[in-house]
Structure 1
Amino acid sequence: MKPIIICTFYRAPHDSQGTQIEELDLSLSKLGNKINTHNVIITGDFNLPNINWENHHVTPNSGYSTVAANKLISLVEEHGLIQHVNEPTRKQGNANNILDLVFTNKPGLIKKLNVVDGIADHNTIIIDVNISPKRKHRPKRKIFIRNKADHLNIQKSLDDFTHEYFSLNQNMTVNDKWNLISTKIINIMKHYVPVRLTTSRYNLPWFNKDLKKMCKRKKRLYKKAKISRNPEDWQEFCNIRKDMHKHLRSARLSYINQFLTTAITDKPKAFWSFISKLRQDNQGIGDLNIAGNIISDDKQKAEALGNQFKSVFTYEGNSKLPNLNDSPHGKIPELTISLKGVHDQLSKINTSKSQGPDGIPPWFLNRYAYHLTPIIHDIFQSSVDSGQVPKAWNEANITAIFKKGNRAETSNYRPISLTPVISKLLEHIIHSHIMKHLEQHHILTDHQHGFRAKRSTETQLIQTVHDISKYLDEKKSVDMAILDFTKAFDKVPHKRLIHKLKYYGITGPISSWIESFLAERTQQVVINGSASKPIKVTSGVPQGTVLGPLLFLLYINDLPNNLTSNVRLFADDCLLYQPIKSDNDISLLQNDLIKLEEWQNTWLMKFNPTKCFTMTLASRKPTPNIYTFCGQQLKSVQSHCYLGVQISNTLNWTAQCNSVARKAQQTLGVIRRNLNQCPTHIKSIAYTTLVRPILEYASASWDPHCLKHIKTLERIQRQAARFCTHNYSRKPGTVTQLFKDLQWDTLQTRRKIKRLSIIYKMEHNLIDIPLDHYIQHNTRTSRKHDSQFLQIRYSANIFGSSFFPATIKEWNSLPSNTVSSKSLKSFQNSLIQHFNN
Structure 2
Amino acid sequence: MHDVYKSKDVELLSGNFRLGPSKKRVTIAAYYRPCIRTDEDYLTKSKEEFAKIRKKNKRNIFIAAGDFNAPDIDWSTLTIERNQYPHRVSKCVLDIVADTDMEQVVNFPTRQKATLDIILTTHPSFTMRCKPLPPVGKSDHDVVLYDTTLIPSRPRPTKRKIYLWHKADSNGIKEDLRHLSKEMETNTAETATIDRFWSYFKERVQAIIEKRIPTKTNSRRSSNPWINTSIRRAIRRKQRAHKKARRTGKKRDVDRYKRLQAAVRFEIKRANSTYLEEVISADYATNPKKFWAHVKARGQESVGVAPLKNQDGFLKSDNISKAEILQSQFQSVFTTEDLSSIPNKGTSKHPALDSIKVSEAGVRKLLLNLRTNKATGPDAIPAFILKTGAEELTPLLTKMFQRSLDEGAVPQDWKDALVVPIFKKGDRHQAANYRPVSLTSITCKLLEHIIHSNIMNHLDTHKILTEAQHGFRKFRSCETQLIETVHDIAKNLASEDQVDAILLDFSKAFDKVPHQRLFHKLDHYGVRNNTLKWICSFLTGRTQQVVLEGVHSSAGPVTSGVPQEDLNALQNWEQKWQMEFNPSKCNIIRILPSKNKPPILSTYHLHGQTLETTKESKYLGVTITENLSWTNHIKNVTAKGNRTVGFLRRNFKECTMKVKSATYTTMVRPTLEYASTVWDPHQENDKQALEMVQRRAARYAHNNYFEKTPGVVTNMLNNLGWETLENRRENNRLMMLYKIKHKMVGIDEKNYLHSSDARTRGDGLRQQQDFHKAICNTFFPRTISNWNHLPTTTTSAPSLESFRSRLRGSSPLQPPVGNP
Which TM bucket (shorter chain)?
0.7 to 0.9
Deviations 1:192-246 (A, max 9, x none): 3322223415564547455567678989999x9xxxxxxx9xxxxxx99999999
Match of 2:579, SS state, is coil
Residue 377 of structure 2 corresponds to 356
Match of 1:4, SS state, is strand
Structure 1: distance between partners of 2:453 and 2:777: 39
Q: Which amino acid aligns with 1:113?
A: C
Per the normalisation by structure 1, the TM-score is: 0.86
Residue 731 of structure 2 corresponds to 753
For 1:734, which of 698, 712, 718 is the aligned residue?
712
For 2:204, which of 174, 178, 184 is the aligned residue?
184
Deviations 1:709-755 (A, max 9, x none): 11111111112223323455433333333322222211101111011
| Distance 1:415-1:136 versus aligned 2 partners, 3 A rule | closer
In the TM superposition, residue 480 of structure 1 has moved relative to its aligned partner by: 1.6
Residue correspondence of structure 1 range 666-745 to structure 2 within 5 A: 666-727=643-704, 729-745=707-723
Counterpart check, 1:436 vs 2:457:
yes
Structure 2: distance between partners of 1:142 and 1:214: 32
Residue correspondence of structure 1 range 287-436 to structure 2 within 5 A: 287-290=307-310, 291-436=312-457
In the TM superposition, residue 184 of structure 1 has moved relative to its aligned partner by: 0.8
For 2:595, which of 606, 617, 620 is the aligned residue?
620
Residue 90 of structure 1 corresponds to 111
| Distance 1:653-1:821 versus aligned 2 partners, 3 A rule | same
Residue 257 of structure 1 corresponds to 273
Q: Which amino acid aligns with 2:146?
A: I
Contact 2:70 2:90 survives alignment (8 Å): yes
Counterpart check, 1:489 vs 2:510:
yes
Q: After the TM superposition, list the runs of 4 or more consecutive aligned residues in structure 1 that deviate by more than 6 angstroms.
A: 213-222, 239-249
In the TM superposition, residue 671 of structure 1 has moved relative to its aligned partner by: 2.0
Match of 1:835, SS state, is coil
Structure 2: distance between partners of 1:21 and 1:530: 55
| Distance 1:754-1:267 versus aligned 2 partners, 3 A rule | closer
In the TM superposition, residue 513 of structure 1 has moved relative to its aligned partner by: 0.9
Match of 1:615, SS state, is strand
Residue 582 of structure 2 corresponds to 608
Residue 636 of structure 2 corresponds to 659
Moved more, 74-83 or 346-355: 74-83
In the TM superposition, residue 654 of structure 1 has moved relative to its aligned partner by: 1.9
Residue 145 of structure 1 corresponds to 164
Match of 2:573, SS state, is helix
Residue correspondence of structure 1 range 801-820 to structure 2 within 5 A: 801-820=777-796
Residue 619 of structure 2 corresponds to 642
Match of 2:504, SS state, is strand
| Distance 1:247-1:475 versus aligned 2 partners, 3 A rule | farther
Counterpart check, 1:286 vs 2:321:
no
Structure 1: distance between partners of 2:169 and 2:701: 46
Residue 167 of structure 1 corresponds to 187
Q: Which amino acid aligns with 1:104?
A: T
Q: Percent identity?
A: 37
Structure 2: distance between partners of 1:35 and 1:383: 64
Moved more, 147-156 or 52-61: 147-156
Contact 1:397 1:417 survives alignment (8 Å): yes
Structure 1: distance between partners of 2:347 and 2:528: 14
Contact 2:544 2:555 survives alignment (8 Å): yes
Q: Which amino acid aligns with 1:436?
A: N
For 2:471, which of 450, 453, 472 is the aligned residue?
450
Q: Which amino acid aligns with 1:395?
A: D
Moved more, 478-487 or 389-398: 478-487
Structure 1: distance between partners of 2:152 and 2:665: 32
Match of 1:3, SS state, is strand
Structure 2: distance between partners of 1:19 and 1:393: 69
Match of 2:355, SS state, is coil
Q: Which amino acid aligns with 1:745?
A: E
Residue 81 of structure 1 corresponds to 102
Structure 1: distance between partners of 2:750 and 2:504: 30
Q: Which amino acid aligns with 1:460?
A: Q
In the TM superposition, residue 343 of structure 1 has moved relative to its aligned partner by: 2.5
Contact 1:17 1:65 survives alignment (8 Å): no
| Distance 1:362-1:492 versus aligned 2 partners, 3 A rule | same
Q: Which amino acid aligns with 1:41?
A: I
Residue 773 of structure 1 corresponds to 751
Contact 1:253 1:677 survives alignment (8 Å): no
Deviations 1:582-614 (A, max 9, x none): xxxxxxxxxx22221111111111111112121
Match of 1:597, SS state, is helix
| Distance 1:796-1:21 versus aligned 2 partners, 3 A rule | farther
Structure 1: distance between partners of 2:270 and 2:439: 38
Match of 1:350, SS state, is coil
Q: Which amino acid aligns with 1:77?
A: A
In the TM superposition, residue 632 of structure 1 has moved relative to its aligned partner by: 1.2
In the TM superposition, residue 814 of structure 1 has moved relative to its aligned partner by: 0.6
In the TM superposition, residue 118 of structure 1 has moved relative to its aligned partner by: 4.2
Deviations 1:161-213 (A, max 9, x none): 33443323377332222111100111122223322223415564547455567
Q: Which amino acid aligns with 1:98?
A: T
Structure 2: distance between partners of 1:171 and 1:693: 49
| Distance 1:747-1:163 versus aligned 2 partners, 3 A rule | closer
Residue 27 of structure 1 corresponds to 49
Residue 818 of structure 2 corresponds to none
Residue 38 of structure 1 corresponds to 60
Contact 1:472 1:478 survives alignment (8 Å): yes
Per the normalisation by structure 2, the TM-score is: 0.87
Contact 1:112 1:406 survives alignment (8 Å): no
Moved more, 336-345 or 245-254: 245-254
Contact 1:36 1:105 survives alignment (8 Å): no
Match of 2:187, SS state, is helix
| Distance 1:750-1:430 versus aligned 2 partners, 3 A rule | same
Residue 54 of structure 1 corresponds to 76
Structure 2: distance between partners of 1:427 and 1:153: 29
Q: Which amino acid aligns with 1:172?
A: A
Gaps of 5+ in 1: 225-231, 233-238, 544-548, 550-591
Residue 593 of structure 1 corresponds to 567
| Distance 1:413-1:437 versus aligned 2 partners, 3 A rule | same
Residue 275 of structure 1 corresponds to 295
Q: Which amino acid aligns with 1:128?
A: D
Structure 2: distance between partners of 1:441 and 1:684: 47
Q: Which amino acid aligns with 1:122?
A: H
| Distance 1:508-1:778 versus aligned 2 partners, 3 A rule | same
Contact 1:36 1:672 survives alignment (8 Å): no
For 1:762, which of 731, 736, 740 is the aligned residue?
740
Contact 2:102 2:123 survives alignment (8 Å): yes
In the TM superposition, residue 16 of structure 1 has moved relative to its aligned partner by: 4.0
Counterpart check, 1:101 vs 2:121:
no
Contact 1:77 1:662 survives alignment (8 Å): no
Contact 2:587 2:613 survives alignment (8 Å): yes
Q: Which amino acid aligns with 1:620?
A: K
| Distance 1:747-1:315 versus aligned 2 partners, 3 A rule | same
Contact 2:307 2:317 survives alignment (8 Å): yes
Q: How many residues align?
A: 771
Deviations 1:663-692 (A, max 9, x none): 111211222223223222222122112111
Deviations 1:409-444 (A, max 9, x none): 221222111011100011111111111111111112
Contact 2:152 2:301 survives alignment (8 Å): no
Structure 2: distance between partners of 1:203 and 1:313: 39
Structure 2: distance between partners of 1:683 and 1:141: 34
Residue 512 of structure 1 corresponds to 533
In the TM superposition, residue 384 of structure 1 has moved relative to its aligned partner by: 0.8
Moved more, 434-443 or 610-619: 610-619
Moved more, 643-652 or 817-826: 643-652
Residue 558 of structure 1 corresponds to none
Contact 1:480 1:616 survives alignment (8 Å): yes
Structure 1: distance between partners of 2:65 and 2:146: 11
Match of 1:97, SS state, is coil
